Structure 1
């Protein structure tokens, strides 16, 4: 007989608390979107109210000042190629470390895990010096390579735990059928990593797309600016153009929101698959 749970006062209370928490998280979005459609004087006079009239010239100005198509293209190229490289490198490395256990591999995995706790601020000066010597400064491919170094530890750690839950018998049967080690990985193992791959791509995209510090250190030319770097140009030492900056923030957030909505079904499938895997 199928169990049914009655709708009681406790469930209602939890739903109300959940709605309140969700609204609290949406408050910053409200302020950003509403104030992006006001002029500077109206923002200063009354921040919380809806605009008296929707002032959309902010978006037109920001589009030109930021050179938004160029900044968007730079951010997109960096995010896409960094994700591709991180997924390939991390998944193959994790597979090797899991399926070929040894003292050296265990030590190597421990080193990757330890690297996750090192704050970026403590190594950013040596990074700039190394990147300069390697010819990676002021280069989009150079920035992508830097992201490889900083992102592979967490990605490898996530893949490592997921691969351990995959039965080894699946690979043995493919090997018996004559498949090479690379064939086993790409044809058998990698498709099974889809739930974790979607999660990793989402985490990397949110990190790389919104990152300001690393691009500000590596990229110096105006033509290489990403969306966060272009948005920061509205904040000077003595003036802060809130009307334009907020419009720039909205334009920068929209692609990430659309990306999340596009992957929402796969994210839910990944969570479900991970919860029942055993």
Structure 2
């Protein structure tokens, strides 16, 4: 029995190591090749650089117009996430505290919308926003609010099911109105779920290329993923600069994830329907 348990343990460890290698392998290729010249990348993609160079990074930084692209990405990501967290947490709070068919139907609509692929609605969505002259930054943030609301409401609703209504009643007896109950009692208790919503959506918005490419049409508003397209011309592809730019672009979101990762698992478990 002991031997079988050890064999299972070693088997899980080996499987974990194998999955880790498979998961980290693309990152290895990106980082290693970002220090190579364009010619060396095509000679041997898998090896370490024979003569590593840092010249790709300042050139990619300049070509990306990184400061402006970074600011655009930050504005879109932060404002979109703020709108999602405020609107969906209030919506989930209202739905969780009102028992009835209407609330159940609205929650069901939010949940079922998670199954709708964006590709099936992107053309009519962009056409409608374009007809109202609501493209570029403002339109993109509103679209993100709509597209990100389903999962956020689902997570918040599940977390709120674990918060007893007696807290609301006690606060109301003490003189709080509904908004004050939400602001000072409920919202702080939803911190793990809020952090989970922030991280999941930040990764999506920061790395998204498809939707911004359909909505943003002004040069000064381009995000980092859109500026990355600069390295892939019709007749040439500057892989050495693209990979360096990719490393520069993913550093901010990795830093955010590292600071907030301890809340993610708790937030997702709290968001499960209890």
Residue of structure 1 in register with 2:211 after alignment? 214
> C-alpha distance in 1, partners of 2:135/2:179?
34
C-alpha displacement at 1:189, in angstroms?
Answer: 0.8
SS of the residue 1:159 aligns to: helix
Q: Distance in 2 between matches of 1:182 and 1:90?
A: 14
Query: Hey, what does 1:194 align to over in structure 2?
Result: 191
Please tell me whether residue 249 in structure 1 is matched to residue 246 in structure 2: yes
Matches of 2:128 and 2:35 in 1, distance apart?
44
2:130 to 93, 108, 132: 132
Whether the 8 Å CA contact 2:231–2:238 is kept in 1: the answer is: yes
What does residue range 71-82 of structure 1 map to in structure 2 within 5 Å? Answer: 71-82=69-80
Alpha-carbon offset, residue 269 of structure 1: 5.3
Distance 1:179 1:144 in 2: 33
- Is there any run of 5+ residues in structure 1 with no aligned partner, and where? 1-6
The alignment status of 1:122 with 2:120, answered yes or no, reads: yes
Task: Rate the CA distance shift 1:103–1:145 in 2: closer, same or farther, 3 A.
Answer: same
1:108 is matched with 106
1:228 to 202, 205, 225: 225
Q: 1:173 to 1:157 in 2, by over 3 A?
A: same
| Cα RMSD (Å) | 2.1
TM-score if structure 1 supplies the norm length?
A: 0.91
Aligned residue-pair number: 271
Aligned-pair distance for 1:93?
0.3
Match of residue 44 from structure 1? 42
Deviation (angstroms), 1:20: 2.0
Q: Which is further off, 100-109 or 62-71?
A: 100-109
2:156 aligns to what?
159
Structure 1 segments, 4+ long, off by >4 Å, are: 268-271
- 2-structure distance, mates of 1:185, 1:178: 13
Q: Structure 2, unaligned stretches of length 5 or more? A: none
* Structure 1 counterpart SS, 2:99: coil
Deviations 1:38-88 (A, max 9, x none): 111000001011011121111111111110111111111111111110000
TM-score (norm 2): 0.93
Equivalent residue in structure 2 for 1:58, among 56, 59, 63:
56
SS in 1 for 2:198: helix
